[in-house]
A = this chain, B = another copy of it.
Amino acid sequence: MSAIPHDFIRKTAQLSEEVTRPFPSSRKIYVTGSRPDIRVPMREVILTPTQTHQGPEENPPIPIYDTSGPYTDPEAKIDLRAGLPDIRSGWIAERADTEQLEGPTSAFGRARQNDPRLAHLRFEHLRTPRRAKSGRNVTQMHYARLGIITPEMEYVAIRENLRLDELRADPRYAKLLRQHPGQSFGAALPETITPEFVRDEIARGRAIIPANINHPELEPMIIGRNFRVKINTNIGNSALSSSIAEEVEKMVWSVRWGGDTLMDLSTGKHIHETREWILRNAPVPIGTVPIYQALEKVDGRPEELSWELVRDTLIEQAEQGVDYFTLHAGVLLRYLPLTADRLTGIVSRGGSILAKWCLAHHQENFLYTHFEEICEILKAYDVAISLGDGLRPGSLADANDAAQFAELKTLGELTQVAWRHDVQVMIEGPGHVPLQMIRENMTKELADCFEAPFYTLGPIVTDIAPAYDHITSGMGAANIGWYGTAMLCYVTPKEHLGLPNKEDVRAGIITYKIAAHAADLAKGLPGAQIRDNALSKARFEFRWEDQFNLALDPERARDYHDATLPHQSHKVA
């Protein structure tokens, strides 16, 4: 008999129909790679024929990059209590460089596992964690530098291509493949993504595949300037407002609309258990800010943090399967005075926690002083590091200032340290930046951080529109994505105001999917314009259903159309 009370099971085992219903007129397809266990999911939108005087003319199906995991596959049996199917364990095991541990090695992880009071919250099918064998390095970067193409690399190559080579060979797609030349600002986008290209980009540090060996459920994806621009979404319970069940539902909602990775920023008493449920059911990489949980462990008093506590937290989370950690290791004591004259000081939560610790102890940031040890932990699980921008501007006034760029230089120094350990790195960026100053952020990041992937929050291009900051930041995001940012962290309409609900999350994701796609088009990503062309053709031919079905949000497009009577003059673009 399960130790989980009936009510809780019911809530977590059953996602709402809203988050799982398949997309209209779509089928889930799987493209098989060089071995049968490489099966890459895509969505194909099936279109109706065009009626011409010569009879019907076929409109071929359009393949779409699909982040939604098995949840939108009508064939898949979803059981949140069992978690998603494990698709990578075979790949990990056959590398023979890891070992199954007897249990968690972090003190906190062990305590949680053995606490009978948590039984009713705990994910039932806990797997014991896996770790690199002593002296081994299990990062994708390590393999890449050894010249090894892993199944993960082949998987992302197939995924990025979206069957483009087949489409090119098929005359039905000839007109749809028309595309304007891009302006790539130095990005090197190949006509076809090969597994070898993926390997090479990872080896150089220009791309990462966040894929912890303890998160074998994930469908590998790549973050890098020469691939599709990705988006991250955030979820986070608050002690006040949400349950574990709601967090899992939010995660599924997020991947449904196109979230490529997800950061779990939960606070409160049951972070550890919530994270386990999310990870076991997440088809996308999960990131965290470990210092948030460490702070919970010292009751919210930054000055009581210590390297030992954070170290235990990193191991705890790495053994659960977190795929990347945001660590604000570049917030140095000597940079803090540079923020004194700012309009809005230090606004990054992680940055301000570490600044308080540094000032309380008059010591250098322990994430910086212990950075090599951090890398030792990360490479034993293949956790990627997202170097946090703790001194990012909190207002336009503070954009691109000395504090921000001093930290960026340090992030570059740390990138080189991480790369010596073959640890995968990305760099976080701002924040609040007016349009004309965005480009400088990208240029400096590429130079100072040696082309490590840039991962930016917005940026917001004006401060005067709270309640619309998904839009203010979407404008900045489209531009910085065009200039070369690899992943855009979404912003919702509730930014600066409160906690997003499901509709806010949807609005934030769609806005960022737009920004990312606009950036792909602008860079000239091969094949990026197919969906635009197919939708425009449907629109011009009044094939309304096809227009809806090709949209980023088919449900809303259909609803809006149906809300008013269709009227000829409004059917013209």
| Smallest CB gap from A472: residue in B | B514
Contact partners of A496 in chain B: CB under 8 A = 539, 547, 570, 573
Assess A343 versus B536: contact at CB under 8 Å? Given A352-B572, A531-B464, A560-B494: yes
**Contact flags (1/0) for A300-331 with B, using CB distance below 8 Å?**
00000000000000000000000000000000
Assess A557 versus B467: contact at CB under 8 Å? Given A498-B563, A499-B567, A540-B344: yes
Is A475 located at the chain interface by the 8 A CB criterion? yes
Contact at B529–A435, with CB atoms within 8 Å? no
Cα distance, A572 to B523, chains bound together (Å)? 33
Contact partners of A532 in chain B: CB under 8 A = 395-397, 462-464
Contact at A463–B349, with CB atoms within 8 Å? no
A536 to chain B, nearest CB (A): 3
Within 8 A of B (CB), among A463-481: 463-468, 470-472, 474-475, 478-479
Contact at B499–A564, with CB atoms within 8 Å? yes
| Smallest CB gap from A551: residue in B | B466
**Contact flags (1/0) for A163-201 with B, using CB distance below 8 Å?**
000000000000100101011000000000000000000
A404 to chain B, nearest CB (A): 13
Within 8 A of B (CB), among A497-521: 497-499, 501, 510-511, 513-515, 517-519, 521
In-complex Cβ contact of A498 among B343, B463, B566 (8 A): B566
Is A535 located at the chain interface by the 8 A CB criterion? yes
| Smallest CB gap from A265: residue in B | B569
Contact at B397–A533, with CB atoms within 8 Å? yes
Contact at A560–B461, with CB atoms within 8 Å? no
Cα distance, A400 to B183, chains bound together (Å)? 15
Is A120 located at the chain interface by the 8 A CB criterion? no
A555 to chain B, nearest CB (A): 9
Cα distance, A519 to B499, chains bound together (Å)? 29
In-complex Cβ contact of A478 among B435, B470, B564, B565 (8 A): B435
Contact at A536–B461, with CB atoms within 8 Å? no
Contact partners of A238 in chain B: CB under 8 A = 567
| Smallest CB gap from A239: residue in B | B567
Contact at B436–A536, with CB atoms within 8 Å? no
Contact at A399–B180, with CB atoms within 8 Å? yes
| Smallest CB gap from A393: residue in B | B573
A513 to chain B, nearest CB (A): 8
Contact at B478–A344, with CB atoms within 8 Å? no
Contact partners of A529 in chain B: CB under 8 A = 396-397, 434
Supplied contacts A175-B343, A435-B519, A474-B475, 7 more A-B pairs, CB within 8 Å: A182-B436, A436-B521, A471-B514, A472-B514, A475-B475, A475-B514, A494-B560
User: Top 7 A-B pairs ranked by shortest CB distance?
Assistant: A395-B536, A498-B564, A435-B522, A183-B436, A463-B532, A394-B573, A347-B573
